Structure 1
Amino acid sequence: MSATAEATIVVDGVSKWFSGVVAVSDVSLVVEPGVTALLGPNGAGKTTLLRAIGGLTQPSQGRVTVFGETVRRNPGVYRRIGYMPEHESVYDFLTGRGFVELAARLQKVEDLDGAVRRAIETVDLVEHQNRRLGGYSRGMRQRMRLAATLVHDPPLLVLDEPLSGTDPAQRLHLRDVIRALAAEGRTILVSSHILEEVDELADRIHLMVSGKLAASGDYRAIRQKLDDRPFHVRVDCADPRALAAGLVGLEAVESVEIAGTVGLRVMSRDVSSLQRSLPAVARELGVRLTRVEPLDDSLESVFEYLATGSGR
């Protein structure tokens, strides 16, 4: 772990256990301005780590600092954090505006009306602000919860599964809101198991598996580190059997499997070399290629590999 002058969050050797059960085990990481994702399956320790970062729980071991200060029992730091828990924490009898206003009062916001208006405008719920939360969809509730989280204009947002329960359009909107907030200079730490959105949303990813930090970086950098597992490439062509026979001898090819009547599934440790060699082999054999598509160039493949423990 290497902290920098710009680091907003520094987690140093943090462990947390409950009655002998280890939820987080010796995790060290740095979070800087921009959007950082904490990714992992349920039970990976993400929420426990976020609670430690937000000052809601004391680590059993190690230290968390936010803005260079110890966060636990530090009201000055608390006021600079917007924390949105995973589980819904709303009062159904309140209107959306009333809920955001309550959060603003708790944070002792001076320009209450202006802050509430700006927060609700940010999540694009102005026309629904006077409806009761009990009549909101799950996605609308998430958006209004985000408005309440940012109403005091905190420089750090800690969002636990903010995309949970939202439909595709709502996820896209929330993603755009989060990116816009980060563009203003904020630090945003997002927990998620929705792999595709993390890929598109975050500048940097920390992968947690079984309470431990499995890898850090952008997803392509992480994938490049996993050189002990081949990439999968889908190849569609006019004569898959002939092409398979031609590809088997290539140094870049680990294995070839026929998939359907027009497809091949090629395993390669060097996709760049494969992409250079493939057209030449096809041309030599007189086989017309119709599609070449890497199947592993996504966060999902990396995550699944690490989650099984194979990447350790």
Structure 2
Amino acid sequence: MTIIDIDHTSRWFGNVVAVNDVTMRIGPGVTGLLGPNGAGKSTLINMMGGFLAPSTGTVTLDGAPIWRNEQVYKQIGVVPEREAMYDFLTGREFVVANAELHGLDAADAQRALATVEMEYAQDRKISTYSKGMRQRVKMASALVHDPSVLLLDEPFNGMDPRQRMQLMDLLRRMGDEGRTVLFSSHILEEVEQLASHIEVVVAGRHAASGDFRKIRRLMTDRPHRYLIRSSDDRALAAALIADPSTAGIEVDLKEGALRIQAVDFGRFTELLPQVARAHGIRLLTVSPSDESLESVFSYLVAA
């Protein structure tokens, strides 16, 4: 089991603090790294990949420091966001060159190209590639040495829907194999579909960690919002509003439902079925309307 530990780590550039006292643990499976532009995501990935030294704190892989540790580098594959590539090479030549840096040969490069489905364009120059194709050939170069850790910075940028689905399937398979996969993204829908775990950074600080639904439920300072349909919405509303766990109820005539704000999540979830049973009301729909990743992320960024 391969684990990256970031322990009270900061990184600054002159007077600019990019990462501020962050502690997190990235383990096997697929983890999404979220944050607005300038939050410190790329800096964190660069420290995990061994491209940057921490200013303070430590970044380790299975207890070994990552910075300037050649043995650790053999376990890590990095797909950077920046387009620093040799455009005069073909895709195959680029991946072969990366294979040779690891003491591997052309057969390993061919395997990596096949993994990302780039064999059809491997003999074209990188200068002719689309943004999505460049992303995939970077992915092949990161996979050429079969790493146990894969770090990707905005890997879905420039990909068409089919390419995104292929990459999502690949990352999901790698996570299922027990590899440690971390990717940053601003496309919340894809993070929601792909990541079993999220880490959120805001203004260089670690804001939240875990499954986004669990994170939402820990945010007790914000009312939980529900969309509820029942056999008698008005009777249900009258019964619920009398309890202090319910802060507000709105009748949504367009939706034919109640929109409810609950300030005590635990009490409300117990109260709702009890009230319905006591008044002979059938609950037809009970749907949290603010437990999407988009809602949770918006709350955290605005906090």
TM-score by length of 2: 0.87
* Structure 1: distance between partners of 2:43 and 2:158: 21
Describe the shift of the 1:281–1:90 C-alpha distance in structure 2 as closer, same or farther (beyond 3 A). farther
- Structure-2 change in CA distance of 1:136 and 1:243 (3 Å): farther
Structure 1 position 82 matched with structure 2 position 77: yes
C-alpha separation in 2, matches of 1:71 and 1:98: 28
Q: Does 1:148 align with 2:141?
A: yes
Matches within 5 A, 1:126-141: 126-141=119-134
Distance in structure 1 (CA, Å) of the matches to 2:294 and 2:162: 21
The 5 A counterparts of 1:176-191 are 176-191=169-184
Identity %: 46
Contact kept? 1:8, 1:33, Cα under 8 Å: yes
- More deviation, 254-263/53-62: 254-263
2:161 matched to which residue of 1?
168
Tell whether the 8 Å contact from 2:229 to 2:258 is kept in structure 1 after alignment: yes
Matched residues, number: 299
Aligned in 2, Cα 1:250/1:117: closer, same or farther, shift over 3 Å? Answer: same
Secondary structure (helix, strand or coil) at the match of 1:304 reads helix
CA distance in 2 between counterparts of 1:267 and 1:13 reads 37
Offset, 1:78: 1.8
Give the CA RMSD over aligned residues: 2.6
For 2:6, the equivalent position in structure 1 comes to: 11
- The answer to whether residue 26 in structure 2 is matched with residue 26 in structure 1 is no
User: Gaps (5+ residues) in structure 2?
Assistant: none
Deviations 1:55-101 (A, max 9, x none): 21111111111232222122222222111111223333433222222
Contact 1:34 1:203 in 2 (8 A): yes
Query: Within 2, Cα distance between the matches of 1:74 and 1:289?
Result: 59
Quick one: distance in 2 between partners of 1:92 and 1:141?
A: 10
Listed as ranges, the gaps of 5+ residues in structure 1 are: 1-5
What is the CA deviation profile of residues 244-274 of structure 1, one whole-angstrom value per residue up to 9, with x for unaligned ones?
5554334542212344533442212436346
Instruction: Identify which of 273, 276, 282 aligns with 2:273.
Output: 276
Whether 2:300 is the aligned partner of 1:306: answer yes
- The answer to whether the 8 A contact 1:257-1:266 is kept is yes
Q: Which moved more, 1:121-130 or 1:146-155?
A: 121-130
Whether the aligned pair in 2 keeps the contact of 1:39 and 1:46 (CA below 8 Å) is: yes
Q: CA deviation at 1:239?
A: 8.4
| C-alpha contact 1:157 1:188 (8 A) present in aligned 2 | yes
CA distance in 2 between partners of 1:122 and 1:282 (Å): 59
Q: Secondary structure at the match of 1:15?
A: strand
Rounded to whole Å, the distance in 1 between the matches of 2:276 and 2:83 is 53
Amino acid of the residue matched to residue 227 of structure 1? T
CA shift, 1:291, in A, is 4.8
Q: How is 1:87-126 mapped onto 2 (pairs within 5 angstroms)? A: 87-109=82-104, 112-126=105-119
The change in CA–CA distance for 1:38 and 1:244 in structure 2 (over 3 A counts) is same
Question: For 1:76 and 1:143, how far apart are their aligned partners in 2?
Answer: 26
SS, match of residue 117 in structure 1: helix
1: CA distance between counterparts of 2:219 and 2:108? Answer: 46
Shift of 1:237: 7.1
TM-score computed with the length of structure 1 as normaliser = 0.84
| Shift of residue 180, structure 1, vs aligned partner | 1.2
Query: CA separation in 2, counterparts of 1:67 and 1:135?
Result: 40
- Indicate which of 207, 218, 224 corresponds to 2:200: 207
Alpha-carbon distance in structure 2 between the residues aligned to 1:297 and 1:55: 35
Partner of 1:254: 247
CA distance in 1, matches of 2:273, 2:88: 62
Q: CA deviation at 1:177?
A: 0.3
| Aligned match of 1:217 | 210
Find the aligned partners of 1:164 and 1:281 in 2 and give their Cα distance.
Answer: 53
